[in-house]
Structure 1
Amino acid sequence: MRAKSSRTVRDLRRENRTAVLRRLYFDGPQSRLALGPATGLSSGSVSNVVGELLAEGLVEEAGSVDSAGGRPRTLLRVSPGSGCMIGVDVGETRIRVELFDLALTELARMELPLATDGQGDGAGGGPGEATGGGTGRGPDGGTGGDPGPHGRYEVGIVVGHVRDGIAEVLRAADVPAERLLGVGIGVPGIVAHTPEDGAVVHGQTTGWDAVPLERLLRETGAVPESVPYLIDNGSKTLGQAEMWFGAGRGVSEAVVVLFGSGVGACVIGEGTESGRAIEWGHLTVRVRGRRCRCGSQGCLEAYAGAEALLERWREAGGRPPTGADEETALTSMLTAAYPPEGSDAEPDATALAVLEETAEYLGAGFADLINLFQPERILVGGWAGLQLGSRFLETVKPHAAAFALRYPAERTRIELGTLGPDAVTVGAAILPLEAFFARGGRRTDSPPEAPVPTWQPALQHRVTS
């Protein structure tokens, strides 16, 4: 006996709307005629869906193209102004908040620094200082005059910064909060979801032990109850950005790795099309090795993160610039090891030795990814990963090939991401956009009220209390 399908007419309509919206969004303006073959829908279904989306203002006309002998065909596109999203990157030493329209055009941005020098952020999570894209990166420190590895991530300060950043970008762009499709947030750590508190963050390297971040943000009243928070690991948001719009576009299976002060990764493939964050930085690459900031020993992050790289250079006798933040110090290390072409400077032997040893550790880490997931590509992103750049990657690739199984290694390309150091914020904004598309372009997906059976009103008076 054939099993009865649980899909309803409402489900089919939502799926049809999703198919049309996605095709128009990713492939640019298209005519109704082209949407049929592209989505697999009949011309009647396309016409009905397009009519709905035009009436709701989600789709708009975008010119026309000539047809073969007939009238010009009207092109359609997703209307950029029909909604907005906020993307938040809870970074290593700053929180970046950006407001985007539906086309991912940046409408406003704010950066709020987290303390790195033991001076603190100010009580209660004050608004910080708006910037136009500064890096604000630096070595680990504490807050309130008490330096420590986790001080800068004091939960109240982070929550206050996110609240203030949301308010500021909405004010700067003159956008009412009700227009938001959602607030996406990329965080360090493992994100679990509970019925009571929503997204809960377990961040061992940041000192966050089951922090109910979604509930805490909701309690601030930064956005209306109807606007969802979507919170995930920062590596996953980076991965989504690169797969949707960057170096991973068109690739079915990839691993996107994020290098900052620490190291993370996101796996995309069959069954994980939206990405799955993995704690790659905490694979053991050396038994009883260096102490990692997670508390364990021998983690990849203890050798390959920017913080560990600079610490190892300092221990070996290198001299990072005094008082420099992490980005400046890493630039100095790379320049010392790889002097610019045409320069009379000799490569700094100490910096070069540390980087060559790091390349070997990274090669082992990449080999683990190749053997475990057999991806088409490994994409390297994050501010430190992009700084390390193609020159350093070329020293990593031979080690990865040597440590990995030959067959999958020959089929994996290791490349840099293309979306720049701010891609985590873009990927965070994709979280509510993806959910919006999955709902067929509707702001909520609440089920319709069930119809009342015809007999119920007639018999209601007979029910005894």
Structure 2
Amino acid sequence: MSVRGGRTVRDLRRENRTAVLQRLYFDGPLSRFSLGPATGLSSGSISNVVAELVAEGLVEEAGSVDSAGGRPRTLLRISPHSGYMIGVDIGETRVRIELFDLALTEFARVERPLVTEGPRPIDRYDVGVVVGHVRDGIGEVMDRAGIAVERLLGVGIGVPGIVVGAPGEGAVVHGQTIGWDAVPLERLLRESSHLPQSVPYFIDNGAKTLGQAEMWFGAGRGARNAVVVLLGSGVGACVVADDIRPGRALEWGHLTVRVGGRRCRCGAQGCLEAYAGAEALLERWAEAGGQPPAGVDEETALAAMLAAAHPGPRADGTTPEADTAARTVLEETAEYVGAGFSDLINLFQPERILVEGWAGLMLGNRFLDSVRDHATSYSLAYPAGHVRIGLGTLGPDAVTVGAALLPLAGFFARGGHREQAEPQEPVPAWRTTLQERGRAKSGGRDPGAASPE
């Protein structure tokens, strides 16, 4: 049965369930009385929806609260163990796979390093190796936690690059900086995984999944919109809003900040990533006469650079002289990042800009003070005066949390139903009659079909 706007009764029922689930998840526990104004639904609709969700095991009682002069009101919450999600972070140095319940309690974790076997870091992103890590990691976390596959809502995967859907392939990844040219990641996982077809994959940009996590649970909570910036080996960003819809990934690291500048990993010249990513920072330090430690990972090398630029006191109370090359490179980088922030401020006018990623968190507030000054000086005064720039709060592991939110958001959008083929609505009698009439007049051929050549 259709209603105004082309929606069916089933659509309205699903939307009501979605509204109740979302409010209980983000603001619960709540009573039935509180759910009414929080969702805009009538008391009758609340009673019906809650009764369904309790009967299905998605919602459970969580104590009671006194009411003004009446009986205590029963509090309701999402049942944490009514479903499970897997979050996968295909990162710059490793693949991390984590299994969560609906309360985002971690039940199991697996990490697989991406080993550099050639002269360039791009060699570590062999598609077959990455697919194998993800496939085996999913099986391992499921076995460790002892969770039946039927209880899995889906697998969310954060990847570097642009993700598009393709007929017959599912999610296809265009990751130019890692050498992935139209990699049909979803199809490859389907072909190699032991998961049944009923378990959906949700594949999206890693900065985008991180941004959603910060907006739902971290430093973006309470803002109407924000830009979450990811600083690691490379640079990325995501524009996110305060609702359940996914954010929009930005290839911010490939914004041109210097015409004819340094060569970027993507092959172009003058990209922000060629100046602000950790890989570029260490290269520029060496070019300026610095001595990055050899044979260590980027995180250790960047920590050494920061210590060289801002040395602390020795055990004997003396303070070594600062490495001027390291300090100069960091100061220049703060200006490049600030200029990049000014573009985000002028284009999107966000309430907040949040810095995440292992390199961004390591550079920290000392670096961010200078970035704020440069961002303000390069921006229009009004939007610059209405933005707060700070660090994210979820930490460098948050991409897996954000990835796990992808199947959770899909579950909520379906009203708490598992992914399955939509049942066919009965066709109105008038439509059948007119279709038969059209076929009769066209000699039995479907009147909507293309005419033969």
| TM-score (norm: length of structure 1) | 0.89
Distance in 2 between residues matched to 1:37 and 1:240, nearest whole Å: 25
Question: Does residue 226 of the first structure (1) align with residue 198 of the second (2)?
Answer: yes
CA shift digits 1:187-216 (9 cap, x unpaired): 000001112211000010011110000111
The range that moved more, 83-92 or 319-328, is 319-328
3-state SS in 1 of match to 2:210: helix
How far is 1:150 from its partner? 2.1
Distance 1:97 1:175 in 2: 15
Structure 1 Cα separation of the partners of residues 4 and 218 of structure 2: 41
| 1:364-403 alignment runs, 5 A limit | 364-403=339-378
Q: Provide the C-alpha distance between the structure 1 equivalents of 2:161 and 2:148, rounded to a whole number of angstroms.
A: 31
1:309 to 281, 305, 318: 281
Q: Are 1:216 and 2:191 an aligned pair?
A: no
Q: Give 1:345 shift.
A: 2.7
Measured after TM superposition, the shift of residue 73 of structure 1 is 1.0
Instruction: Name whichever of 203-212 and 398-407 sits farther off.
Output: 398-407
Whether 1:277 aligns to 2:249 is: yes
Corresponding residue of 1:44: 44
How many angstroms apart in 2 are the aligned matches of 1:453 and 1:280?
50
Q: Offset of 1:454 from its aligned partner?
A: 8.9
Deviations 1:155-205 (A, max 9, x none): 100100000010010011011222110100000000011122110000100
Aligned length: 429
Q: Confirm whether residue 334 of structure 1 aligns to residue 306 of structure 2.
A: yes
How far apart in 1 are the matches of 2:207 and 2:318?
A: 36
CA distance in 2 between partners of 1:272 and 1:54 (Å): 23
Query: Equivalents in 2 of 1:248, 1:213: separation in Å?
Result: 30
* Deviations 1:277-312 (CA, angstroms, capped at 9, x unpaired): 010000011111111010011100000000000111
Aligned to 2:407: 432
Give the secondary-structure state (helix, strand or coil) at the position aligned to 1:5: helix
Shift of residue 314, structure 1, vs aligned partner: 1.2
Distance 2:39 2:218 in 1: 23
Which amino acid in the other structure matches residue 213 of structure 2? A
Counterpart in the other structure of 1:64: 64
- Per the alignment, do residues 270 and 433 of structure 1 end up closer, same or farther by CA in structure 2, a change over 3 Å counting? closer
Secondary structure, aligned partner of 1:98: strand
Aligned residue in 2 for 1:287: 259
Q: Which residue, 165, 168, 176 being the options, matches 1:196?
A: 168
For 1:266, the equivalent position in structure 2 comes to 238
Residue type at the aligned position of 2:6: S
One-letter amino acid of the structure 1 residue matched with residue 45 of structure 2:
S
2:24 aligned residue: 24
1:5–1:453: structure 2 CA closer, same or farther, 3 Å change rule?
A: closer
Aligned twin of 1:156: 128
Q: Extract unaligned runs of 5+ from structure 1.
A: 119-141, 457-462
Question: Matches of 1:305 and 1:348 in 2, distance apart?
Answer: 20
Q: Which amino acid aligns with 1:387?
A: M
Q: 1:174 aligns to what?
A: 146
Aligned partner letter, 1:77:
R
Q: Which runs of 4+ in 1 moved over 6 A?
A: 452-456
Q: Which residue pairs with 2:227 in the alignment?
A: 255
Paired residue type of 1:86:
I
Letter in 2 for 1:44: G
Q: Give the alignment's TM-score, normalised by structure 2.
A: 0.91
Superposition pairs of residues 438-449 of structure 1, within 5 angstroms:
438-449=413-424
For 2:436, the equivalent position in structure 1 comes to none
Alpha-carbon offset, residue 445 of structure 1: 4.9
Distance 1:395 1:59, change over 3 A: same
- Between the aligned partners of 2:413 and 2:242, the Cα distance in structure 1 is 18
Cα deviation code 1:429-460 (max 9, x no counterpart)? 0000001000000012532234488999xxxx
Distance 1:193 1:205, change over 3 A: same
Match of 1:127 in 2: none
Match of 1:412 in 2: 387
Q: Deviations over 1:400-423 (max 9, x none)?
A: 111111111111111000000001
SS for the counterpart of 1:266 is strand
Q: Is the 8 A contact 1:19 1:39 kept in 2?
A: yes
1:178/1:273 CA distance change after superposition, 3 Å = closer
Q: Which deviations, in whole Å up to 9, do the C-alpha atoms of 1:129-162 show, x marking residues without a partner?
A: xxxxxxxxxxxxx3xxxx3342111110010000
Q: Is the 8 A contact 1:91 1:187 kept in 2?
A: yes
Deviation for aligned residue 1:112: 0.3
- 5+ residue gaps, structure 2, are 433-439, 445-453
Question: Could you say which residue in structure 2 is the equivalent of 1:323?
Answer: 295
Find out whether 1:86 has 2:90 as its counterpart. no
Residues 166, 222 of structure 1: 8 Å contact kept: no
